[in-house]
A and B are shown apart, each in its own frame.
Chain A
Amino acid sequence: MWDTYIIIPMTNVLLWIYESTELIGFNFGIAIILFTILIRAITWPLTAQQLKGTQGMQELQKDKEWLSIQKKNKNDKEKLAQEQMRIYKERGINPFGSCLPTLIQFPVIIGLYQSIIRSLAATPLSLLNMSRSLYSFLDVSKVIPLNSKFLWMDLGRPESLEVFGFALPTLAVVVVITSYIQSKLMTPPSNPGDQSAAMGNMMSIYMPFLMGYFAMTFASGLALYFITSNLLGIAQYAMMGKANWSNLIPGRK
């Protein structure tokens, strides 16, 4: 099921895009970047919904009723949570909206990782499995094996750049930074007692490091996806005027 509906379609799209990069000498890195743009376009409605939710949360922070219940129930956290949930429900706000796009990425990340490994097929069994994954309209025999080199990276392997004799996981660092910026830009301002917003804040700290860990540990093609996706997300928020730039400065709300 997972294979049929996630891995195989993803692998074929990746290979189809790769075939289309013939003019630039078949480049799997470019194929991953184009694939990420495609994924971003497909998940556009989710992102728009998330931005709407974020905006709702921002407006809520200035709402009189919201401020009043914070004040009134500051010593009763259970009651405060109940009241907050009531307001969320009444106004159609999803308090987990800021986490959703990140969580939605999880199956995409797993699927993409498996598709990259399957497409690059560095071993006989993976190449045989890849040959089984091809749709009939694709004739990839002319492009196999795929060129896994992109800039200084082998996209099928974890990345590191040697600087003064030390192997530095540069992509992982870029992943952490861009993930952090993206999370912060879409995190609404919060009051001290707002548990949902606190959770969002916590996610915006933990998730970049988690993504960075994955970027450091797994195939660098995955890190390329993370970075492209993050940059596209940042650009998207900025273009829509929804980015909360003040969040990037520590101490400012």
Chain B
Amino acid sequence: MKLKKIFILTMAILLSVLLSGCSSAALQTNSWSGLSADTEKAYLANGSFVYALYLSNGSQAWQYPAEKADAKESFFATPVLTEDGQLLIASAGANHSLVSLNPENGTSNWVFDDAEGTWIASPLAIGEYIYAPNTDGKIYVLDSNGNFLWAKAIGGALWAQPVSDGEIIYITSLDHHLYALDPGRKEVLWDVELTGAAPGSAALDTDGNLYIGSFGSVLSAIDTQSHKILWEAPLDGWVWDAPSLDGTTLYVGDLEGSFHSIDTADGSENWAPIKPNGPITGSPLITNDLIVIGTESGTAYAIDQDGSIVWQQAIGGRLYTAPAQSGELILFSPMETDSVLVALDFDGRQVWQFTPAK
């Protein structure tokens, strides 16, 4: 009798552990880090904690939460610095919290946690308004004190930070559409169907054209005046993040590991795609006449405008996060390594790295 009970108990525990293991792993690691920087500090949303690090030497200025991690919080959206000096962070955890921090010391100003879904996208702060797209398909509009003003159902899960020309908010969605929202009228003015889900933001040029990569393996150019697709440039694989715009040239990487330079006029390739050593998810960083990218294989590349690789540096881990720049430093946040932030100089030499205390 005892043996039977042990057998049944063992089977139950085994299955419970296996299933629980799957779900907890999925909850704890549901994205890669979000990275931004100002002139003094880098801000890294890295799961349970958001870290602020001094750019001068990579030492930690503060972390949020200051003490113990909250199991219901999971920060991955790129932290956003607002004009009035707030640092907005968003949680993909069960709390659904959008938090305003003081970037000086990491103390909380306010928390908004009334959204139905989690936050994967970063909010867009314009003046005194905060536009926060949520995975529940709504965009939530708050004032700069965190007070809820209104929300609008857009459609599909919203994973990307919106862009704006100052009047209209442009939102990409996983439901294969781009939406133009008029915040004054609180209405979606128009939408355009894309060739696939768009998890990344659009790039907006000064002529009012939007450029969006999607899982349809194309880069689409959309005229915001006519609401029409101007051209579609075929790529080799899914595009995860926003293309980067430099004058009349777009730079974009895809999941097949191709890096493209595309003419905004007609979508033609300026040079044959480069093949670094792995898939590219993050937006390219344009800095100091270089285009800097990271690959899933953990290598940082600097490419010049003619498509030649200037340097490459093995960082380790997986570089899914878009690199960021501040001053003379290029920042990478590798995944699946102890060091969660690595700073390089413009020649690709490592300046410092940051490993959180365990």
**Chain A interfacial positions (CB closer than 8 Å to B):** 103, 106, 109-110, 113-114, 117, 122-128, 131, 141-142, 144-145, 195, 198-199, 202-203, 206, 210, 213-214, 217-219
The answer, yes or no, to whether B65 is at the interface (CB within 8 Å) is no
| Chain A residue nearest to B238 in the complex (CB) | A131
7 CB contacts below 8 A, A to B, read A103-B11, A124-B199, A131-B238, A145-B197, A203-B8, A214-B16, A217-B19
Q: Which of B15-74 contact A (CB under 8 A)?
A: 15-16, 18-19, 22-23, 26, 29-32
Interface footprint category on B: 35 or more
Give the interface SS of chain A, mostly helix, strand, loop or mixed. helix
A127 to B320 alpha-carbon distance, docked (Å): 13
A123 to B121 CA separation, bound complex (whole angstroms): 11
Let me know if B222 is at the binding interface, CB within 8 A.
no
The answer, yes or no, to whether B120 is at the interface (CB within 8 Å) is yes
Given known A123-B120, A145-B157, contact A202–B26 (CB-CB < 8 A) = no
Q: A124-B31, A141-B215 are in contact. List 9 more A-B contacts (CB 8 A).
A: A109-B19, A110-B15, A117-B22, A117-B26, A122-B30, A124-B159, A145-B174, A203-B8, A218-B23
A113-B19, A203-B8 given; A141·B31 CB < 8 A: no
Chain B: minimal CB distance from A194 (Å): 13
Q: Are A145 and B156 in contact (CB under 8 A)?
A: yes
Q: Nearest CB to that of A105 among chain B residues?
A: B15
B255 at interface by CB-CB < 8 Å: yes
Residue of A nearest to B197 (CB): A144
Query: Are the C-beta atoms of B215 and A113 separated by less than 8 Å?
Result: no
* Docked complex Cα distance between A202 and B9 (Å): 12
Taking CB atoms, residues of chain A closer than 8 Å to B156 are 145
A141-B215, A144-B215 are known contacts. Are A125 and B23 too (CB-CB below 8 A)? no
A173 to B286, CA, bound (A): 56
Contact, CB under 8 Å: A124 / B120: yes
Q: Is B92 an interface residue (CB 8 A)?
A: yes
- Chain A residues with CB under 8 A of B18: 110
B22/A141 in contact, CB under 8 A = no
Whether the Cβ atoms of A113 and B22 lie closer than 8 Å is: yes
In the bound complex, residues from chain A placing their C-beta under 8 Å from that of B157 are: 122, 145
Residues of B within 8 A of A218 (CB): 19, 23
Name the CB-closest residue of B to A219.
Answer: B23
B95 within 8 A of A: no
Known: A123-B31, A124-B30, A214-B15. A202 touches B197 (CB 8 A): no
Q: Is the CB of B92 within 8 A of A123?
A: yes
Interface residue? B12 (CB, 8 A): yes
> CB within 8 A of A123: which of B7, B30, B281?
B30
Indicate if B135 sits at the interface (CB-CB under 8 A): yes
Whether A210 contacts B22 in the complex (CB less than 8 A), given A124-B120, A141-B216, A199-B4, comes out as no
CA distance A123 to B77 in the complex (A): 12
Greatest chain B CB density within 10 A among A123, A131, A206, A210 is at A123
Q: How far is the CA of A134 from the CA of B199 in the complex (A)?
A: 18
Residues of B within 8 A of A110 (CB): 15, 18-19, 22
Q: How far in angstroms is the closest Cβ of chain A from B220?
A: 14
Report the Cα distance A154→B12, complex, angstroms. Answer: 26
B183 within 8 A of A: no
